[in-house]
Amino acid sequence: MKVIPKETNDDIKRINQIYKVLKKNDFGYLIEENTFFKKFPFLRNRKKSDDDKLPDETIPIRIRKVCEDLGPAYIKLGQMLSTRPDLVGVEISEELQKLRDDTPAMDFDEMKKVIESELGSPIDEIYDSFNEMPIGSASIAQVYTAKLKENGKEVAIKVQKPNIEEIIKSDLKLMKFLAVRIDKYLYKTKIYNLPSIVDEFERSILKEINFEEEVRNMEVMAKNFEDVSYIHIPIPYNDYSTKKVITMELIDGIELTRVIKSNCEKYDKKLIAQRGMDSYFKQVMIDGFFHADPHPGNIMVYDDNTICYIDVGMVGILTDDVRGNLAELILLLYNGNTDNIINQLIYMDIISPTQNTPELKADINDLMKKYYGAKLKNANGSIEDLVKAMINNDIVLPREFVMLGRGLTLIEESGRKLNPDFDTGDELKKVAQKLLIYQASPKRAFNVTSNFLLEMGHLAKNLPNTMNSTISKLDDGQLTLNLKLEWLMEVAKQITIAIIIAAVIVGSSIAIFADRGPKLFDISIIGLIGFVFSAALGIYLVIQYLMMEMD
């Protein structure tokens, strides 16, 4: 008798659970109409009545319910998709934003085992006191408060739930399995590119369940804000932090959500809005390292109006070049020239030339009329609407661009709630201008040159090995060159002559404009000779080129 591995049995049971949840929410056809799954015995003889099918407008709600019913991995998948309207559509992404990650707390004895196993010591040897009642419980982790024995500091401890990594990796395997089969056998789902969605989610969730990533993010962000007195990032205690446990400074503040609703005079709401905007623009435009989910629940406020960013497990990273291109795009948006905006989007590889359609141009024109008439005023929602314009034209945006759009939208929304006169337009323009000035500064030029020289050094260092490897392949007959050496030599010679011609022309021009030395017909003789010499070389080069073409 053939023994079926336990892992395979578990997978079959999980697929059956997924099917039941899908069927309950009227998505059973995703499996029932998939010819691959018709072979599964537990799916045979199941009938679906058309009377049970809900109207299409309920699809976003049903998708959210599926995520909630299937547990942690699917809740996180839904939350990720809520930030990707370009992949799933605006209606679905907005509905998925309602997903709540609050779950019933696990028994403390189970969580205690994780802490002691990860830190390698009993809790009472590490902490003077430990509050067994969590202050927060989500699908992946629970958060407790305690006092460190080492220094008496009040701390927060984020603890990963037992076996959550194994559960998520098991569900990821099934997600990939289902995504590939459904995408292959069910044509109507191809527009969503399910395998690509699952691959992106896998990268995101595996980083999120590795708490060491979050500790590194905290340290980077703290370094970036070390000279900004009104921004604080929690201090992690590395000696008491691992892949599954983070011990960090306990923040003595309240959530921005409560500040927005509060009428307490000690909170200067206009100042908090300004600081939130300035700090986020700095993250995006200056640091290139930004909080990917700055909703009010992830921002704490101290009594002195200092802002603290928490839960930095998910961040966006923008390279120096991308930030420069983004600054140019922002200024073009400010100026309101549709053609220039589209050209910039093409240059940034956000859209391709074939996607530059009349419909896209019309949508961006409408956006300009709405927000960018004479000047950028009342720009709340402008970034979000730009993303929607891309989505309406079937453009899949780079992940970081969508994260940035969502982050700016959240900051705008919070700012408006704190201060009805909150206006991001002029401030965003100023930051973009500063960034472009920096891009042209000698300091950046020095950095770019240094990087170039470093790359050239690496190239020179690796060149002997590369040549040896190439020669070995030639000796072994593994590499074939289909080039004429004489032709290459001739091309090299022509390139050399062309460089000489360019240099002589430049030198001759300088001699003429310098207005010095002997002259003929009021023209510098040295410059004139240079141009004649350049012309002769140019004629020779053309003749040589024609001869090569005839050969």
**Rounded to whole angstroms, how far apart are CA atoms 73 and 67?**
8
Most confident of 65-74, 186-195, 335-344, 503-512: 65-74
How much helix, strand and coil, in percent to the nearest 5, is found in the chain?
Answer: 65, 10, 25
Weakest-pLDDT range from 31-40, 71-80, 133-142, 250-259: 31-40
Model pLDDT, residue 233: 96
Model pLDDT, residue 291: 94
Model pLDDT, residue 280: 92
Task: Name beta bridge partners: 300.
Answer: 255, 308
Q: Are 159 and 111 in contact (CB under 8 A)?
A: yes
**Rounded to whole angstroms, how far apart are CA atoms 154 and 234?**
12
Most confident of 275-284, 368-377, 380-389, 415-424: 275-284
Model pLDDT, residue 108: 93
Residues 6+ apart with CB under 8 A from 275: 230, 231, 305, 307
Number of residues that this document lists for the chain = 551
Residue 548: CB atoms within 10 A of its CB come to 13
Residue 314 pLDDT exceeds 60: yes
Model pLDDT, residue 493: 62
Question: Tokens 């989910």 identify what position?
Answer: 293
Residue 10 pLDDT exceeds 80: no
Q: Helix, strand, or coil here: 71? A: coil
At position 95, the amino acid (one-letter code) is E
Model pLDDT, residue 143: 94
Weakest-pLDDT range from 164-168, 182-186, 544-548: 544-548
CB burial of 233-252 (b: ≥16 within 10 Å; e: otherwise) equals bbebbeebbbebbbbbbbbe
Model pLDDT, residue 547: 57
Q: Helix, strand, or coil here: 519? A: strand
Positive or negative torsion for Cα 81, 84, 88, 91: positive
For 163-175, what is the mean pLDDT? Answer: 89
Q: Are 435 and 288 in contact (CB under 8 A)?
A: no
Q: Are 360 and 393 in contact (CB under 8 A)?
A: yes
**Rounded to whole angstroms, how far apart are CA atoms 193 and 87?**
8
Model pLDDT, residue 420: 85
What digits encode the pLDDT tens for the residues 269-299? 999 999 999 999 899 888 999 998 898 989 9
Q: Among candidates 326, 323, 271, which has minimal Cα distance to 302?
A: 271
Most confident of 54-58, 253-257, 452-456, 484-488: 253-257
Q: Are 294 and 309 in contact (CB under 8 A)?
A: yes
List alpha helices for 25-152, DSSP H. 29-32, 59-70, 72-81, 85-88, 90-96, 108-119, 123-126
